[in-house]
Amino acid sequence: MVLVGRTRASLAAAAQSIGLAAAYVVHDVTDLDGAATLVRQAAEKAGQPVSILVNNAGIHLKRCVEETTPEEFQSVLTTHVCAAHALNRAVIPGMKERGHGVILFTASMASFLGVPLVTAYSAAKTAYLGLTRSLAAELSPVGIRVNAIAPGWIESPMLQKALAGDERRKNKILGRTPMGKFGEASDIGWAAVYLASPAAKFVTGVCLPVDGGASIGF
């Protein structure tokens, strides 16, 4: 497993918590031209070609639409969508050559639900659904499965920032979540393990909500 991020200290701590199987590469995914170099470095760190790619990088922007500048909108799209496209392009040729591979996207409840004040984020996460379907249709015949996970509201610094000072929104989220609570990061991790494993060998082109029922709650 090779972790990728911009902050060396955070990566080192995360890799240490996982154990000897984890390594890391410091990289900013918005450096689109550096995607091929990153994939090569990751393969060197792992001692084998990249067989599973998890497109998980993201930033959040909570702002009303008329105050969201084109530059801010593009920044969110670049981090989520353009960076994922660059990484996909970098890993797919090798996966095709080997006849197998897994690509995962981290979608969101904003991929399905109309969430106010996050137009850029919603656009980016909804784009993941189209990418998942299109890439699955294109790549599954050559042995590459493509799926997405849509986390519900998961305890994290990003969630805390999004709900800061907005008790009404927090209560609204919990009120429409049948399980009545926020999820944990491990809930998403186990879903990713499943979709990347042979247990999901006949699963492609789907987006799996891991949301405590939020996407179907009333």
Distance CA 154, CA 86 (A): 27
Residue 162 has pLDDT above 80, yes or no: no
- The structural domains of the chain, with segments of one domain joined by +, span 1-48, 51-210
DSSP string, 113-170: S--TTBHHHHHHHHHHHHHHHHHHHHHGGGTEEEEEEEE-SBSSHHHHHHHTT-HHHH
24, 121, 128, 194: which is the annotated catalytic residue?
121
pLDDT class for 163, splitting at 50, 70, 90? confident
Fold of 51-210: Rossmann fold (3.40.50)
pLDDT at 164: 86
**CA 135 → CA 93, 102, 143, 144, 203, distances in Å?**
13, 11, 12, 9, 13
Residue 157 binned pLDDT confidence (cut-offs 50, 70, 90):
confident
pLDDT at residue 217 in the model: 86
State pLDDT tens for residues 87-139: 999 999 999 999 999 999 999 999 999 989 999 999 999 999 999 999 999 99
Q: Is 121 a catalytic residue?
A: yes
Q: What is the chain's mean pLDDT, rounded?
A: 96
> Within 10 Å of residue 108's Cβ, how many Cβ atoms?
29
